[in-house]
Amino acid sequence: MTVAQNDTAAPAPSDFIRDIVAQHVAEKRYAKIVTRFPPEPNGYLHIGHAKSICLNFGIARENNGQCNLRFDDTNPTKEDVEYVDSILADVKWLIGGWADDRIGFKPADATPVSRTVDGKQDFFLPAILPADAAGAKLAPFHASDYFDQLYECAVALIRKGQAFVCDLNAEEMDKYRGAPDKPGRESPFRNRSISENLDLFARMKAGEFPDGARTLRAKIDMTAPNVWLRDPVLYRIRHADHHQTGGKWCIYPMYDFAHCVSDYIEGITHSICTLEFEVHRPLYDWILTNLDLPRPLPHQYEFARLNIGYTVMSKRKLMQLVQEKLVCGWDDPRMPTICGLRRRGVPASALRRFAYNIGVTKFNSLTDVAVLEHAIRDELNPSALRRLAVLDPVKLVLTNLPAGQVIECDAVNNPQDENPTTRKVALTREVYIDRDDFTETPPPKYFRLKPGGEVRLKYACIIKCDEVVKDATGQVVELRCTADLETRSGGLNAGRKVKGTIHWVSATHCLDAEVRLYDRLFTVAEPDAEGDFKQHLNPRSLAVVTAKLESSLQDARPDQRYQFERLGYFALDPVDSPPGASRLVFNRTITLKDTWGKAAG
Ligand code: ATP
Ligand code: MG
């Protein structure tokens, strides 16, 4: 389905997850719909995460619910505050203005509570903001905030005889686990007494054993067809400082244990994740059920992850591109990261539109990058200011205009506006046009400039090419033309038509700017289908040119998007051309039309 330009007002899309939520709302099953987006801070977010963010925050928004931005920070050795900060910035940017901050963040001082309800142990985070909490200091959620509660839960499972301390090392554990078609074998440590397990687990926490010496495992079923139920590890020893909890812990919970308990503590109703977690769902349910908790349990629902052609979509691979300096960083505008797309000039609303357009399904597939490109163009077309720019300039002299004469032409800022405004652009004796708007050997139906031919200079007048000047190598260095000034708007021959209209800028009233032109990062649709994905990098994914821009772009703003007429959509590079910088650097966000098919063919 398509979404109106102002997507805050657009009707919500429908999909199988939203159908489930709607059913639960109709049944009044929950007091409030609560979802979460749980990134692991071990890399930067990519556009696949954007799909998950739009889904989780979207469902919360549509149901007056809440979506917790939760750092799934249980693996201290792979995590870093750099990633925490970037994720926070990316999520805020992506949902900013679309969803209330308060649906993603908690009061900064909210702390989890452990309590007993009807003889049952409960854990609870009072994170729901009162309506008048505007201005309260807000903070994201962290799984690490619940390390105390997670520890208590682990102890509770030990007390029930449902978890044990195991001394097998990782390699031995693999052997004991069996295979999907072969049952596993029980660990020789499985039948330790509850008191011995309690003692050993406390000593694991106290730091008595080195990394890898022992684990805490759930006691489920070593013959279960689902290998995730074969006594999975719940806790491991890692003598490592954590970016949130410092040196307090030397044992850390595994994802499967931390995730479901964190969901419960936060009162999540719908825990939405990608399909590869479907096989983990029985374990998710087993842990929560066996903790014997007093409040309604969260449930996990899975959808197909986003894969897009001509790029890679895994933090690990994107990390390789950054570390091996194959791109200029996580925010390289060719990267499928949220910060890369932002730097390239893609508006947040375009990513949300894209997420809506692709929908949510149960089947993995490869999304055509053209779908993303469409969403970007649809978003930029109504709002981008039209400007004149020349990327590959060749000089054109209007021989019948005296040097020094300036003719002010009215140029439309955006024809999509209800009441389009105009600005003045200077027509002078010397102008620049783009080199490929002229040819000496025109193919059939060539409507741009050729020797003896006529074109209209956009917003100005019709010109005729009288003479082609070349240098010693045969390269065209100047086109000498006559301007028919009566074909200007308001002139005697204003109505005279020619087939071609080209863009131009005055050679004496223009600016130089660095313009970066991007192409797809990879030359094949599925770079990671076989072999090393890096061998498919597109050597021509970046071209840098010195362009000539109309002088009004001197005042270009970082938050404004521009359409350089006939060339595409452009934005100032926020890193290399920040406000007040002495040089102008523009990124081409996207071309006006999909030219890839032609170029590749
Ligand atoms: P990657 O596989 O790219 O390294 P990840 O799954 O390890 O990513 P997490 O930080 O664990 O990254 O992801 C946070 C959330 O985003 C999870 O709920 C995950 O299911 C979801 N997610 C990750 N990748 C995609 C994707 N390509 N499409 C949709 N959702 C995704
Ligand atoms: Mg993950």
CATH number, domain containing residue 217 = 3.40.50.620
* Cα 311 from Cα 368, distance rounded (Å): 11
| Interhelix angle 16-26/47-62, nearest 10 degrees | 20
Tell me if 130 is assigned to some domain: yes
CA–centroid distance, residue 394 to ligand 1 (Å): 48
- Closest CA to ligand 1's atom 27: 48
Would residue 305 show up in a list of annotated catalytic residues for this protein? Answer: yes
Q: pLDDT tens digit string along 418-434?
A: 999 999 999 999 999 99
- Total of domains in the chain: 3
Q: Which residues of 535-557 are buried (b: 16+ CB within 10 A; e: fewer)?
A: ebbbeebbeeeebbbbbbbeebe
Q: pLDDT tens digit string along 111-123?
A: 999 999 889 999 9
Tell me if 126 is assigned to some domain: yes
In a shared domain, residues 339 and 294: no
Last-in-domain residue among 482, 508, 534: 508
- Judged by its nearest atom, the ligand closest to the C-alpha of residue 46 is 1
At 217, the amino acid letter reads R
Pairing relationship of beta strands 270-274 and 476-484 according to DSSP bridges: unpaired
Q: Above pLDDT 90, what percent of the chain?
A: 89
From 274, 284, 320, mutation site for ligand 1 pocket: most ligand atoms within 8 A of C-beta: 274
In a shared domain, residues 210 and 278: yes
In a shared domain, residues 574 and 426: no
Q: Which residues of 558-588 are buried (b: 16+ CB within 10 A; e: fewer)?
A: eeebbbbbebbbbbbbbeebeeeeeebbbbb
- Catalytic residue chosen out of the listed positions 315, 334, 377, 456: 315
Ligand 1 atom closest to the Cα of residue 52 is 30
Q: Which residues line ligand 1 (CB under 6 A)?
A: 38-40, 48-49, 51-52, 273-274, 305-306, 313-316
CA–centroid distance, residue 246 to ligand 1 (Å): 26
Mean residue pLDDT across the chain:
94
What's the confidence (pLDDT) of residue 103? 84
Q: Does the pLDDT of residue 577 top 60, yes or no?
A: yes
DSSP for 313-376, written as a single string: --HHHHHHHHHTTSSSSTT-TTSSBHHHHHHHT--HHHHHHHHHHH---SS---B-HHHHHHHH
In a shared domain, residues 319 and 428: no
In a shared domain, residues 498 and 522: no
Per-residue DSSP letter, 46 = B
- For Cα atoms 572, 577, 581, give the angle at the middle one, nearest 5 degrees: 135
In a shared domain, residues 126 and 41: yes
CB-CB neighbours of 118 under 10 Å: 6
What's the confidence (pLDDT) of residue 272? 98
Tell me if 310 is assigned to some domain: no
What's the confidence (pLDDT) of residue 11? 72
Tokens of 235: 């806790």
Last-in-domain residue among 474, 508, 542: 508
Q: Which residue has the higher pLDDT, 373 or 117?
A: 373
Q: What is the mean pLDDT of residues 72-86?
A: 93
- Judged by its nearest atom, the ligand closest to the C-alpha of residue 67 is 1
CA–centroid distance, residue 425 to ligand 1 (Å): 48
| Range in 127-136, 159-168, 277-286 the model is least confident about | 127-136
What's the confidence (pLDDT) of residue 109? 86
Q: What is the mean pLDDT of residues 297-319?
A: 97
Question: Could you tell me the residue range of the domain that residue 341 belongs to?
Answer: 315-345+512-600
Ligand 1 atom closest to the Cα of residue 316 is 4
In a shared domain, residues 438 and 450: yes
- Judged by its nearest atom, the ligand closest to the C-alpha of residue 49 is 1
In a shared domain, residues 503 and 516: no
What's the confidence (pLDDT) of residue 6? 46
Q: Does the pLDDT of residue 189 top 80, yes or no?
A: yes
What's the confidence (pLDDT) of residue 355? 96
Counting every residue written for the chain, the total comes to: 601
Tell me if 365 is assigned to some domain: no
Q: Please report the beta strands in 12-117, taking only residues with DSSP state E, as ranges in sequence order.
A: 34-37, 66-71, 106-107, 113-117
- Judged by its nearest atom, the ligand closest to the C-alpha of residue 274 is 1
In a shared domain, residues 586 and 470: no
In a shared domain, residues 134 and 268: yes
Pairing relationship of beta strands 233-237 and 215-218 according to DSSP bridges: antiparallel
Please report where in the chains the tokens 């930029």 appear, as a residue.
380
Tell me if 370 is assigned to some domain: no
- Catalytic residue chosen out of the listed positions 305, 317, 423, 448: 305
What's the confidence (pLDDT) of residue 596? 54
Would residue 40 show up in a list of annotated catalytic residues for this protein? Answer: yes
Ligand 1 atom closest to the Cα of residue 274 is 20
Would residue 315 show up in a list of annotated catalytic residues for this protein? Answer: yes
What's the confidence (pLDDT) of residue 598? 46
Tell me if 368 is assigned to some domain: no
Ligand 1 atom closest to the Cα of residue 42 is 10
What's the confidence (pLDDT) of residue 601? 31
| Range in 93-107, 259-273, 355-369, 558-572 the model is least confident about | 93-107
Ligand 1 atom closest to the Cα of residue 53 is 16
At 235, the amino acid letter reads Y
Q: Above pLDDT 70, what percent of the chain?
A: 96
> Which among 561, 588, 586 has a CA at the least distance from the CA of 382?
561
CA–centroid distance, residue 416 to ligand 2 (Å): 43
Last-in-domain residue among 491, 508, 525: 508
Q: pLDDT tens digit string along 316-348?
A: 999 999 999 999 999 999 999 999 999 999 999
CA–centroid distance, residue 49 to ligand 1 (Å): 6
In a shared domain, residues 417 and 476: yes
pTM for this predicted structure: 0.94
CA–centroid distance, residue 129 to ligand 2 (Å): 28
- Closest CA to ligand 1's atom 9: 39
128 pLDDT tier (thresholds 50, 70, 90): low
In a shared domain, residues 78 and 206: yes
| Residue 527 contacts residue 533 (beta carbons within 8 Å) | yes
CA–centroid distance, residue 240 to ligand 2 (Å): 20
208 pLDDT tier (thresholds 50, 70, 90): very high
Q: pLDDT tens digit string along 4-53?
A: 334 555 677 899 999 999 999 999 999 999 999 999 999 999 999 999 99
From 45, 141, 305, mutation site for ligand 1 pocket: most ligand atoms within 8 A of C-beta: 305
CA–centroid distance, residue 314 to ligand 2 (Å): 9
CATH for 461: 2.40.240.10
Q: By 3-state DSSP, what share of the chain in percent is helix, strand and coil, each rounded to 5?
A: 30, 25, 45
From 52, 68, 365, mutation site for ligand 1 pocket: most ligand atoms within 8 A of C-beta: 52
Tokens of 168: 């097998």
Ligand 1 atom closest to the Cα of residue 276 is 20
- Closest CA to ligand 1's atom 10: 39
Q: What is the mean pLDDT of residues 508-528?
A: 96
Tell me if 371 is assigned to some domain: no
Tell me if 352 is assigned to some domain: no
